[in-house]
Amino acid sequence: MKAKVHVTLKRGVLDPQGKAIGHALQSLGFDGVDDVRQGKFIELDLAETDRAAAQKAVESMCQKLLANTVIEDYRIELAD
How many angstroms separate the Cα of 16 from the Cα of each of 19, 32, 79? 5, 19, 32
CA separation for the pair 60, 71 (Å, rounded): 17
Query: In this chain, which stretch among 4-12, 42-50, 55-63 interacts with another protein, using CB under 8 A?
Result: 4-12
Distance in Å, CB of 45 to another protein, minimum: 26
> Restricting to residues 12-41, which ones interact with another protein according to CB under 8 A?
12-16, 19-20, 23
Nearer to another protein, 68 or 75 (CB): 68
Q: Is 52 in the site for another protein (CB under 8 A)?
A: no
- DSSP for 11-25, please give it: TTS--HHHHHHHHHH
CA separation for the pair 26, 7 (Å, rounded): 25
Using CB under 8 A, list all residues that contact another protein: 9-10, 12-16, 19-20, 23, 68, 70-71
